[in-house]
Amino acid sequence: MTVEDLALIIQNDVVAHMATKDDIARLEQRLDEHGRRLDHVEAHLADLRSGFRNLNITQNRLVTTLAGKRILTMDEARGLSAA
Q: Where are the chain's structural domains?
A: 19-82
Whole-number pLDDT of residue 83: 67
**Phi/psi at 70 (5° precision):** 65, 30
Task: Determine the residue type at 38.
Answer: L
pLDDT band, residue 66 (cuts 50/70/90): confident
Burial class (CB in 10 A: 0-12, 13-18, 19+), 66: middle
pLDDT (tens digit, 9 = 90+) per residue, 47-59? 999 999 998 888 8
